[in-house]
Chain A
Amino acid sequence: MNLEDRIENFGKILINHRIKVIFSTLIIIFTITFGMKFLETPSGYRGFVEDDFKYYQDVLDLEEKYGNIDVLTYVVKPDTGSIFQREVLNLIHELTEISWQTPYSSRVSSITNHQYTTVEGDDISISDFVEDIGMMSQAEIENLYSLAVTEDAVVNFAMSESGKVGLININLEMPDDINFKEPIDFAWKQKEHFEKKYNNVYVGVAGSAQFSQNFQSTSESDATKMYPSFLLLTIILTYILLRSVVASIISLTVILLSILPSLGAAGWLGFEVQPPLITAPIIILTISLTHAIHMLSIALTNMTEGMTKNEAIIESLKINFSPIFLTSFTTAVGIAGINFGDIPAYSEMANTVVIGAAIGFILSVTLLPSMFSLLPIKARKRKSYVINVLQKLGEVIYKFKERFIIIISIICITVFSLIPNLTFDDFFGTYFDRVPAWLEVKNVVDPEFGSSFYIFSDVQSNETDGITSPEYLKKLDEFESWLISQDEVSDVSTISDVVKTLHKNMNGGLDEYYKIPDDKALIAQYLLLYEFSVPYGMDLKNQMTADKSDSRMLIRSNNNTSMQAVAFKQRVDEWLNKNIAPYSTEGVAGIPIMMPHLFVENTRGLVIGLLITFSFIILVVGSALRSFRYGLISIVPNIIPFVLGFGILTLVTSMVTAAHQFAVLISIGLVVDATIHFLSKYKKALSINLSPQEAIQYCFRYVGYPIVVASVCLFSGFLFLTQSMFYYNFIVGGMCALIILIALLIDLLLLPPLLLIFGKKA
């Protein structure tokens, strides 16, 4: 018994037992779907890296010694002038006070509660920098700026150097299960309250806590905003393509039943709902849609040509079974290649799509025929302009085959020459640029402070009380000056700044004493004094260890690209290797170091993944076609869409981000689908002794339409993803849509002439 007979028997069994098939499928589907309730809420940027990722471990090591690194920041900017206006200072004071109520907060610091030291001889008094604003005269308020700008601990921390923007920094001590929803919800209530109360002042919520929470909030808003409208789009698209209400219902049922259990499986597997996972249902939807359209449109065509309903669907099953299997398989292989990367959120998305593709295939060849047989369907004769156009196109291509090849080759070479302009790089700071509130606050913070993100360095003196030694502090100072001279750094603060300030204050407040004293005992006594007079939540515990052997540097990062940050880390390590002895350090760590290294390692993995999956797919295609020659020919239309796609990308950007790389792996398996359909039909045509010219016409007539339809479905699906609030989803959507579109054009315009010239002569 050959394959076709087997499929026919299989089809007959499905139809004879259609009720059983439908019910048992539904039971299995809903059991798997039940797992959706176990989907995990995303753990922000921490969920974006593997737990054992080296640069994340560096962060965890730091946190074990000095507490959680996450900060929630209010950004306060009056519409006009500086923050030194009565209204604005009142706002900052009130917001500072209420911030102590923030869930999980451990410290709150701002310009108003900055501990300001005034010195009169041997009398030292320490108080809040801004007290009783109501009692201050206008002149006193205006004078505050000139005092503030000389305070090390204020500039670039509680206010920008220009005085135009103030920050209220809240350190959060999170429980092990880190979820910023509570503090962020609290912060947003304050933002709304204070913006209403002081309507000429902008209050924004920033910091790594907001950055982290963006992962969750964009996932939620994407899901609620994108899914309903995409479903509507699918319903319309399906009806336009099938022109049958019942067939559309069957197709939608199959699609939904592919999506639900794949999300259920994702839940059973403990996946997190990170923004990339939100794209999985849409990708699964478009893939299943193309299967359903292939199956249903051929069955409907068969009916218009006089077959009975059951004959029509069995015939369609016979024609489509192998291509649907093969295309599902290549799609799955391509997307599974994402597992070679280093970002768990993307691997989870990829694996969900792979599961969805598998379920989609199974349902298309089981549930779909059973439902088709069960439900009343009438097929209407369709006038298809598309098929006419395609047939004409086939004739034109045959006539001008050489010119097509030459013109497309010229285009390819021209565009290809642009590709060297591209570099692998990205910007984790742009992840949420499509979220208006985040972009708004970023546009206030970044020009004044560099960025919202901090880098840390733990410098160990290797002895108890070692950080009070002048040599140690001078080394910190040296490291600090070197760091400040780097483009990647906007500000640095160290424990040596605290000591210098103390030395100055202990010597009548004279600027000439703003330096590190030479006496270790004196420094130890200064710190003792300091530690006796600090207010709640302002101790040095997040800057030094209790035995005073190690201290932590705080480095405010500029907005660096990944490659800049990686090179910066390398330079830091080199400098430290040369200069830090006799002290020791693990170097720098933090979000601005971790995310760029994630990008680099991910890229390394994906490039390998791409090479492996691409070769594998070529092998699969070649062996499915049982021909070395056609396997070789198939490579051309499968590579060119990527070359052209990335060439066109150079017109927009020079950065190939992780998202662009993911787009390649997601689309590679989809791009080959059309080639498989076209080549297998072409071979079949030759085998029934058609001439190459007739074979091309045959292909355009029989697979041209399904290829166009499938590409349109995929193109719309991916184009729709560009609605996402998550920048990477936007890129994946746009890039995949572009590649699918180019692939369609290449399959129609280049593949036929190639076959005519390089294919077997009849």
Chain B
Amino acid sequence: MRYIKLILLALIFFPFSLQADTAEGVGLKIAKASYENGRGFTDMVSDQLMILIDPKGKEVIREVSSKTLENLNPDDGDKSITFFKTPKDVEGTVMLSHTHISDDDDQWLYLPALGRVKRISSSNKSGAFMGSEVAFEDFSGTDYRKYDWKYLGEKIENDETFFILESFPNYKNSGYSKRISLTDSLDRTRKVDFYDRKGELLKILYLEDYELYKDKIWMANTMRVENVQNKNMTIFKWLNRELDTGIDKKDFEKSSLMRLAD
């Protein structure tokens, strides 16, 4: 009789053990769902505030606005234009980026004081930019295909259930050894822990103020990054975000940079 019970138990748990074997598969599935959740916006315009806060609480605010064009080709990245507004000295500077999934991104910068467009190619942009705690790869690396995923289980926090995902960058020169993220039941990423190259927790990203656009796309309007090593904090805020505004695709070409700057 005891043996029958054991066999029954084993049969009940068998499917679960199968699932455990494919933690990578489950992880990838959730990551993909989460990524696709934010797709389909066609294009997007917004103003952004970047607030840098040092350990003493001293704040510096930088303002930019940006336009993003969704790339309908699933094998290539989006295109974006960033207009710098403050500090005053960089007003009028425009940056155009064409992100790519597997190749290095293309980047052009128009410097009004120089009156020229410069093409910058750099294979390694894992550094924090503009004195913030955010690296370029944190933005350009949102595509789930840039990581190897692993599902670590579930977690309940404040009555909400989260999926815990571990991801390892599969591109060269990353500043991170891994990330651990929490995704909620609506497939929205809510929190990401970044581990530095030696495997120590470096910073924590919180995605907050999620807003539902076009009744189907969830986008976070606040990103808060806390560096646990140097105790600095950076807050990104998206203001006046609009989707599907019908921007001219030609704006996203190098030849349009100087025209856009004026």
54-113 of chain B: CB within 8 A of chain A: 54-56, 58, 60, 84, 87-90, 93, 95, 107, 109, 111-113
Q: How far is the CA of A762 from the CA of B114 in the complex (A)?
A: 102
Segment of B30-38, B117-125, B158-166, B208-216 in the binding face: B117-125
Chain A residues whose C-beta falls within 8 Å of the C-beta of B93 in the assembled complex: 525, 528
A532 touches B129 (CB 8 A): yes
Chain A residues whose C-beta falls within 8 Å of the C-beta of B117 in the assembled complex: 122
A51 within 8 A of B: no
B246 within 8 A of A: no
Segment of A84-92, A354-362, A514-522 in the binding face: A514-522
Q: How far is the CA of A404 from the CA of B87 in the complex (A)?
A: 85
Chain A residues whose C-beta falls within 8 Å of the C-beta of B130 in the assembled complex: 528, 531-532
A47 within 8 A of B: no
Q: How far is the CA of A528 from the CA of B111 in the complex (A)?
A: 10
The closest CB in chain A to the CB of B116 belongs to: A122
Other-chain contact of A528, B54, B60, B90, B175 (Cβ < 8 Å):
B90
Q: Given A522-B111, A528-B90 in contact, is the A547-B125 Cβ separation under 8 Å?
A: no
**Most interface-central of A67, A103, A465 (chain B CB within 10 A):** A465
Q: Given A126-B122, A524-B90 in contact, is the A506-B114 Cβ separation under 8 Å?
A: yes
Distance (whole angstroms) from the CB of B80 to the closest CB of chain A:
13
B120 touches A536 (CB 8 A): no
Other-chain contact of A123, B119, B127, B129, B232 (Cβ < 8 Å):
B119
Chain A residues whose C-beta falls within 8 Å of the C-beta of B232 in the assembled complex: 546
B119 touches A525 (CB 8 A): no
Distance (whole angstroms) from the CB of A320 to the closest CB of chain B:
62
Chain A residues whose C-beta falls within 8 Å of the C-beta of B54 in the assembled complex: 545-546
B229 within 8 A of A: yes
Q: Given A521-B90, A525-B93, A533-B120 in contact, is the A103-B198 Cβ separation under 8 Å?
A: yes
Distance (whole angstroms) from the CB of B42 to the closest CB of chain A:
26
A529 touches B120 (CB 8 A): yes
Other-chain contact of B89, A115, A525, A547 (Cβ < 8 Å):
A525
Distance (whole angstroms) from the CB of A127 to the closest CB of chain B:
6
A534 touches B127 (CB 8 A): yes
Residues of chain B at interface, number, CB under 8 A: 48
Q: How far is the CA of A548 from the CA of B56 in the complex (A)?
A: 16
Chain A residues whose C-beta falls within 8 Å of the C-beta of B112 in the assembled complex: 521, 525
Distance (whole angstroms) from the CB of A496 to the closest CB of chain B:
16
B126 within 8 A of A: yes
Chain A residues whose C-beta falls within 8 Å of the C-beta of B58 in the assembled complex: 547
Q: Given A101-B197, A173-B229 in contact, is the A532-B89 Cβ separation under 8 Å?
A: no
A128 within 8 A of B: yes
Chain B residues whose C-beta falls within 8 Å of the C-beta of A115 in the assembled complex: 124
A124 within 8 A of B: yes
Other-chain contact of B87, A102, A524, A526, A545 (Cβ < 8 Å):
A524
123-166 of chain B: CB within 8 A of chain A: 123-132, 135-136
Distance (whole angstroms) from the CB of A480 to the closest CB of chain B:
23
A535 touches B89 (CB 8 A): no
A100 touches B197 (CB 8 A): yes
The closest CB in chain B to the CB of A469 belongs to: B89
Chain A residues whose C-beta falls within 8 Å of the C-beta of B116 in the assembled complex: 122
Q: How far is the CA of A65 from the CA of B113 in the complex (A)?
A: 30
A494 within 8 A of B: no
Q: How far is the CA of A539 from the CA of B234 in the complex (A)?
A: 15
B173 touches A536 (CB 8 A): yes
Chain B residues whose C-beta falls within 8 Å of the C-beta of A64 in the assembled complex: 55-56
B52 touches A124 (CB 8 A): no
Q: How far is the CA of A662 from the CA of B201 in the complex (A)?
A: 46
A653 within 8 A of B: no
A-B contact pairs, 15 of them (CB 8 A): A100-B198, A115-B124, A122-B117, A124-B121, A126-B121, A126-B123, A523-B89, A524-B89, A528-B90, A529-B111, A531-B127, A531-B130, A534-B129, A536-B126, A539-B128
Known: A123-B121, A506-B111, A534-B129; 11 extra A-B contacts, CB below 8 A, are A100-B196, A101-B199, A125-B120, A126-B120, A127-B122, A128-B123, A465-B87, A524-B89, A534-B125, A536-B175, A539-B131
